[in-house]
Amino acid sequence: MLELKNTGKVRDSYVVSSDPSRLVVVATDRISAYDVVMTEGVPRKGRVLTAVSLFWFDALKGKLATQTPVLFDKVDLDAIGLHDEFLGRTTSVRRAEMVPIECVVRGYLAGSAWKEYLRYQSVGDIAMRSGLMLGSKLDRPVFTPTTKEAEGHDLPLSLSQLRARVGTSLACELEEISLFVYGEAMRVAADKGLVIADTKFEFGYIDGKLALCDEVLTPDSSRYWRVESMGLGREPVQLDKQILRDWLSETGWNGAGRPPTLDAKVIEKLSLSYVAIYETLSGLSFTDWPGNYDLRCYLGERTNKYES
Ligand SMILES: Nc1ncnc2c1ncn2[C@@H]1O[C@H](COP(=O)(O)OP(=O)(O)O)[C@@H](O)[C@H]1O
Ligand SMILES: [Mg+2]
């Protein structure tokens, strides 16, 4: 028996009654921006997120405790009554007691960190040197955690606010592991001509031990740049969810109320860019990833409600 436990912005999670220690996570083709789920999906997205995340869990194997994700094949899906639409997007992970913190690491100046730098010459309240530009490499990667809100926007936390919230020991652990994983990932990405400008991790307790959970280093949770598009005095070419944010801001929508209907061109660009990130990282063709390589979206169980 499958029981739906959670419908997040992108993933639906289920528990199989025969093994409550694990979670069945289905990455749908939903996409969100400013914490609002769009009406349209992005073809292949859930399968790419699954492929990219599994690539990183594999690359990190043996280096830290994780939720140990396992991809479902057709036989596994059949056994719990799920059909082919779930192929390539469904994993089983160890169920964790999540720490409600978004562990953001930034190696380059972009997004809200760029805005903060322009106003205060700091990033996550940490003073930076002058003269940095949009896309500049920071002298060292910085940990800029935020809250993880069930609804609405996450709020930035200074390191002292984080310590006050979760205690000094867990705060240190979150920072240390986040910076460690980011450093490992940057080495792997550099070999493929990619830079991860920033990313977000989530951790949880499994058997009393802190473990890396959720999606890891996907184009939803990270900014990916191609090295050759950097340092040209302008913003690097966007390959990740930033494509959607940029398009949305051109339409004038700022996150309030019903989002605009996504243009077919922006949907296609997102789909192709996400696939390209997987292929660049893995050196494999995404057409070989399990499941249907077609344009049909699987949108899962979430129903969107918009404030007007
Ligand atoms: N190993 C795990 N055990 C329990 N919950 C998890 C685990 N890994 C991730 N989660 C949670 O599952 C949800 C994933 O779905 P997602 O669509 O990303 O949700 P959100 O809208 O909260 O980002 C998140 O709420 C995340 O905190
Ligand atoms: Mg998430």
97 DSSP 8-state letter: E
Give 88-142 pLDDT, tens digit per residue. Answer: 999 999 999 999 999 999 999 999 999 999 999 999 999 999 999 999 999 999 9
Mean pLDDT over residues 174-197, rounded? 98
Determine the structural domain holding residue 163 and report its residue range. Answer: 98-249
Tell me what pLDDT residue 13 has. 98
Q: How far apart are CA 198 and CA 224, in angstroms?
A: 8
pLDDT single digits (tens) 241-266: 999 999 999 999 989 999 999 999 99
Kindly state whether residue 298 falls inside one of the protein's structural domains.
Answer: no
| Residue 184 pLDDT greater than 70, yes or no | yes
Are the C-beta atoms of 23 and 5 separated by less than 8 Å?
A: yes
Q: Is the CB of 74 under 6 A from ligand 1?
A: no
CA distance 137 to 214: 27
In a domain, 173, yes or no: yes
Number of domains in the chain: 1
Please provide the average confidence, as pLDDT, over all residues in the chain: 96
Which ligand number lies closest to the CA of residue 210?
Answer: 1
Confidence of residue 208 (pLDDT cuts 50, 70, 90): very high
Query: Which ligand is in closest contact with the Cα of 30?
Result: 1
Rounded distance from Cα 233 to ligand 2 centre (Å): 32
Q: Kindly state whether residue 125 falls inside one of the protein's structural domains.
A: yes
Residue 21 lies in a domain: no
pLDDT tens, residue by residue, 27-85: 999 999 999 999 999 999 999 999 999 999 999 999 999 999 999 999 999 999 999 99
Pick from 290, 307, 240, 303: which is nearest to 85 by CA?
290
111's CB contacts (< 8 A; 6+ apart) are 198, 223, 242
- Atom of ligand 1 at shortest distance to CA of 13? 12
Domain assignment present for 263: no
193 within a domain of the structure (yes/no): yes
* pLDDT for the residue numbered 308: 58
The predicted structure's pLDDT at residue 235: 78
**Ligand 1 within 6 A of CB of 95:** yes
């390589």: which residue's tokens? 293
What's the whole-number mean pLDDT along residues 146-150? Answer: 93
Residue 234 has pLDDT above 90, yes or no: no
5 is a domain residue: no
- Tell me, yes or no, whether 148 lies in a domain: yes
Burial class (CB in 10 A: 0-12, 13-18, 19+), 40: middle
CA 173, CA 208: separation in Å to the nearest integer?
14
The domain that contains 143 carries what CATH number?
3.30.470.20
**pLDDT given for residue 209 in this prediction:** 98
Q: What is the whole-number distance in angstroms between the Cα of residue 10 and the centre of ligand 2?
A: 7
CA of 30 to the centre of ligand 2 (A): 11
Our answer on whether the CB atom of 13 is closer than 6 Å to any ligand 1 atom is yes
In ligand 1, the atom with minimum distance to the C-alpha of 10 is: 17
What digits encode the pLDDT tens for the residues 292-308?
A: 988 899 999 998 877 65
In the Cβ-directed half-sphere of 70, how many Cα atoms lie within 13 Å? 10
- Which among 132, 146, 150 has a CA at the least distance from the CA of 35? 150
